[in-house]
């Protein structure tokens, strides 16, 4: 495929990819809300140990993550692969 054909093929699955991204984001937000303490005003407080854990992850490049952390990222990306494969195999 030419670069233009690839661009066209991927543009063709943009909405499906966006739907996968929204599902990923929604899953993460639901997880966060379960982990946080809800305040009387409805706001959420992230537990200090989770803040420390996530800040450590934020400060590292992917290659520096522990294997289980990398696998978590891979798991998220796997949801996109079938859509991308289908788009590229159709050729746009």
- What digits encode the pLDDT tens for the residues 18-56? 999 999 999 999 999 999 999 999 999 999 999 999 999
Q: How far is CA 80 from the centre of its chain?
A: 10
Q: If phi over 0 gives left and psi between -120 and 50 gives alpha, with beta otherwise, what is residue 91?
A: left
Percentage with pLDDT > 90 across the chain:
83
| Rounded Cα distance, 26 and 23, in Å | 5
Neighbouring CB atoms inside 10 A of 13's CB total 21
**In this prediction, what percent of the chain has a pLDDT beyond 70?**
98
């Amino acid at each position: 495929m030419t670069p233009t054909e690839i661009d066209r093929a991927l543009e063709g699955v943009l909405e499906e990819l966006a739907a996968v991204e929204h599902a990923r984001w929604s899953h993460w937000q639901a997880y966060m809300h379960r982990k946080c303490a809800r305040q009387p005003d409805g706001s959420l407080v992230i537990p200090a140990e989770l803040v420390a854990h996530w800040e450590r992850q934020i400060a590292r490049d992917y290659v520096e993550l522990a294997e289980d952390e990398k696998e978590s990222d891979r798991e998220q990306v796997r949801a996109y692969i079938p859509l991308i494969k289908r788009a590229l195999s159709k050729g746009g």
